[in-house]
C-alpha cells in the first residue's frame, strides 16, 4: 500500500523534528518545510540517523505564498499538513507584536489556502494552553472558556484557531487543534532536542544552559505569585509524548473518525509544577547544583495552568508515558551533547 504523505512545517524545529521521527516510524512519508530562523537544519541529520530516511526539505518562509506553493506543486499527493511553523516566545511577542501577528497569521493563512486549493484532507495545528489566558480554573479542559490572551503570542494562537474554524467550515479539510501545555525534554537517543538560534526563553533550556555554564545563572521570574511557593505553575509535557500525540491525531483524522470539521485537544500531563519545583527536580535528577536567583515577574506570564487531558485519552487513546524526571534527564543529556559539539564558550 502506498504510504500517506504529510507536510510538516517547522519540521527542523524542536517539536517538529521529534514528530517527524514518530511519523516515519508510524509508516508515513514526510516532507519538511522550515525557514530555520529559530532552528537548525542539522536536526535533519538526527532524523536521518534515527530513521535511516532522508526527507525532502524546503527552506522557505511560509509567509511567502508564491515560494511556498512549490511544495504543493512538487507534492500534489499530500494527505495532511502538521503546521508547527511559528514564533513562540511570550516575552518577545510583547516587545515585537507586529512580527508575531505577521509571521504566525500570514503563514497559517497561506497553509489553509493550500489545503483548500490542493484538497488536503487533514490539518493539524500547534495551538497552546496560552489560549486559556489567565484562567481561574485549574485543571482546564477544552470547554473552559477562553479569557483574554496574556500576550500577542497567545492572541496569535487564539486568532489562528478562529481562522481555521472559519476557513475550513465548509471544506473537505478536517482539522485538529492541539493545545500544548509546556513541552520540554529531548529525544531519548540524545540525537534530537531544542536548538534555538537565539538564547532560549523557555524554562528547561534556560536551566540546562545555566547548569552547563552557557549563562551565568537562571532567573526565577516572579516569586510573589499566589501559588504554593510564589513561583508560576505549569504543566510540563515530554516532547516525545507530544510528538506521538500528533501521529495519533493524524491517524484519527485520516481514518475518518472525526465528525466535526474542527476539534480541539489539550496535551499536558495533568499535573502542575512550580518553577522552584522544576529547579529542584533538575538538581535531584542530575546531581548538579543550579546557579539561580529570584527575579521580577516577566510580562505576559500567567499565574498557574495545568491540563485535563481526558478527551485526548478517550478519543485519541493518548496518555503521557514520561514524567518530570525523564524531562530533566533527557534535556540534560541533550545539553551536554550539544555543548560538546560547540565547545567555544
Question: In the 8-state DSSP scheme, what is residue 121?
Answer: -
Among 43, 93, 128, 173, contact with ligand UD1 (rule: CB under 6 A): 128
Strands 182-184 and 78-83: unpaired
**Axis crossing angle, helix 97-117 with helix 65-74, rounded to the nearest 10:** 30
Does the protein bind ligand UD1 through residue 96 (CB under 6 A)? no
Closer to ligand UD1 by Cβ: residue 129 or 177: 129
Among 78, 218, 247, 324, contact with ligand UD1 (rule: CB under 6 A): 218
Q: Which candidate, 329, 174, 172, places its Cα nearest to that of 258?
A: 174
> Cell triple for residue 272?
502542575
Is 345 a catalytic site residue? no
Give the Cα separation of 225 and 238 in Å (integer): 25
**Nearest residue to ligand UD1, by Cβ distance, number only:** 232
Give the Cα separation of 199 and 208 in Å (integer): 12
Which residues in the 221-250 window bind ligand UD1 by CB under 6 A?
A: 221, 232, 234
Out of 58, 153, 252, 309, the active site residue is 153
Total of residues contacting ligand UD1 (CB under 6 A): 26
CB of 335 to ligand UD1, least distance (A): 14
In the chain, where do the E strands start and end? 5-9, 29-34, 57-59, 78-83, 122-128, 174-180, 182-184, 218-221, 233-234, 236-238, 262-267, 273-274, 292-295
Distances (CA, A) of 311 to 146, 270, 291, 317, 318: 17, 12, 39, 9, 9
CB of 275 to ligand UD1, least distance (A): 4
Closer to ligand UD1 by Cβ: residue 6 or 90: 90
Closer to ligand UD1 by Cβ: residue 108 or 129: 129
Among 202, 258, 271, 313, contact with ligand UD1 (rule: CB under 6 A): 202
Give the Cα separation of 264 and 270 in Å (integer): 16
Closer to ligand UD1 by Cβ: residue 293 or 341: 293
- Provide the H-helix boundaries in 26-96: 43-51, 65-74, 90-95
CB of 231 to ligand UD1, least distance (A): 7
CB 36 within 8 A of CB 9: no
Upper half-sphere CA count for residue 43 (Cβ side, 13 Å): 30
Which residues in the 255-314 window bind ligand UD1 by CB under 6 A?
A: 275, 298, 301-302, 305
Site string for ligand UD1, 28-67 (x = CB under 6 A): ----------------------------------------
Stretch that binds ligand UD1, among 78-86, 177-185, 252-260, 265-273 (CB under 6 A): 177-185
Give the Cα separation of 48 and 54 in Å (integer): 6
Among 72, 100, 180, 265, contact with ligand UD1 (rule: CB under 6 A): 180
Which residues sit at the interface with ligand UD1, rule CB under 6 A? Answer: 88-90, 128-130, 154, 180-183, 201-203, 206, 218-221, 232, 234, 275, 298, 301-302, 305
Catalytically active residues, by annotation? 153
Amino acid at each position: 500500500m502506498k504510504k500517506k504523505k504529510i507536510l510538516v512545517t517547522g519540521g527542523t524545529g524542536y517539536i517538529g523534528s521529534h514528530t517527524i521521527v514518530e511519523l516515519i516510524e508510524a509508516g508515513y512519508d514526510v516532507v519538511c518545510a522550515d525557514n530555520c530562523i529559530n532552528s537548525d537544519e542539522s536536526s535533519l541529520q538526527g532524523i536521518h540517523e534515527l530513521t535511516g530516511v532522508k526527507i525532502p526539505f524546503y527552506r522557505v518562509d511560509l509567509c511567502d505564498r508564491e515560494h511556498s506553493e512549490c511544495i504543493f506543486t512538487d507534492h500534489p499527493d499530500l494527505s495532511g499538513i502538521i503546521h508547527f511553523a511559528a514564533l513562540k516566545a511570550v516575552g518577545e511577542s510583547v516587545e515585537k507584536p507586529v512580527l508575531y501577528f505577521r509571521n504566525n497569521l500570514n503563514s497559517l493563512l497561506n497553509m489553509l489556502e493550500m489545503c483548500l486549493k490542493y484538497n488536503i484532507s487533514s490539518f493539524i495545528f500547534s495551538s497552546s494552553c496560552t489560549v486559556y489566558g489567565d484562567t481561574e480554573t485549574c485543571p482546564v479542559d477544552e470547554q473552559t472558556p477562553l479569557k483574554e490572551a496574556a500576550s500577542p503570542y497567545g492572541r496569535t494562537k487564539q486568532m489562528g484557531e478562529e481562522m481555521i474554524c472559519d476557513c475550513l467550515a465548509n471544506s473537505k479539510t478536517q482539522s485538529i487543534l492541539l493545545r500544548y501545555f509546556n513541552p520540554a525534554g529531548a529525544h531519548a537517543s540524545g540525537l534530537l532536542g531544542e536548538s534555538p538560534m537565539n538564547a532560549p526563553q523557555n524554562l528547561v533550556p534556560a536551566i540546562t544552559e545555566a547548569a552547563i555554564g552557557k549563562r551565568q545563572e537562571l532567573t526565577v521570574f516572579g516569586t510573589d505569585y499566589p501559588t504554593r511557593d510564589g513561583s508560576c505553575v505549569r504543566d510540563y509535557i515530554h516532547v516525545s509524548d507530544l510528538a506521538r500525540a500528533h501521529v495519533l491525531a493524524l491517524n484519527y483524522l485520516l481514518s475518518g473518525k472525526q465528525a466535526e470539521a474542527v476539534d480541539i485537544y489539550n496535551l499536558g500531563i495533568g499535573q502542575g509544577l512550580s518553577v522552584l519545583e522544576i529547579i529542584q527536580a533538575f538538581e535531584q535528577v542530575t546531581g548538579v547544583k543550579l546557579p539561580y536567583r529570584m527575579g521580577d515577574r516577566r510580562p505576559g506570564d500567567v499565574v498557574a495552568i495545568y491540563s485535563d487531558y481526558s478527551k485526548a485519552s478517550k478519543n485519541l487513546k493518548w496518555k503521557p508515558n514520561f514524567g518530570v524526571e525523564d524531562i530533566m534527564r533527557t534535556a540534560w543529556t541533550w545539553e551536554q551533547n550539544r555543548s560538546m559539539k560547540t565547545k567555544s564558550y
